[in-house]
Amino acid sequence: MRKRSEVHCGSDSQPFDRVDVHRQTQSILLLKAEAQRQTSLMTYQDGYAIELGDVVCVPVPGGTAKARVVMLGATYEHLDIDKQFLSWVKEKKVLDASSIVIEWLGPNPFAHNDPRHAPVGNYMFSPVDEHVQRIA
């Protein structure tokens, strides 16, 4: 008589343990999930994970400015941002895997009224380097 957890499969009728197979499958799935998480994990220079909504300080002409992380290049995960901008980013694949999109929290430090130059939006692409510092 077979044990309840054993199943015979195939012509060789070698039994295998369902519980053992289930544990192995769970282990494989957990390893795959962890590998996926690690490959898509973006980090600041200090090793902390970059998360959507983080407030960062970035250098701009004349000093620094605060911004919020609204999109991750590694995964294209994003907060609720302008749908046309999001569509353009995804369609054209203009965001590098090692970069983020930030949204200014104060006045746009690059805003201008010069008709000789293109207008600027409230989003900016930024590589994740030593100049992007998490402050909250």
What are the pLDDT digits (tens) for 98-119?
Answer: 999 999 999 999 999 999 999 8
* Residue 1 forms part of a structural domain: no
Residues facing residue 43 across a β-bridge: 49
Residue range 52-77: average pLDDT?
Answer: 95
Gap between the Cα atoms of 82 and 85, Å rounded: 5
Which residues lie below 8 Å from residue 43, measured CB to CB, with a gap of 6+?
A: 49, 50, 128
Same domain, 66 and 123: yes
Q: Is residue 92's pLDDT more than 60?
A: yes
Residue 109 belongs to a domain: yes
Residue 82 falls inside a structural domain: yes
Is the pLDDT assigned to residue 33 strictly greater than 50?
A: yes
Please indicate, yes or no, whether residues 35 and 94 belong to a single structural domain of this protein: no
Asked if residue 47 belongs to a domain, the reply is no
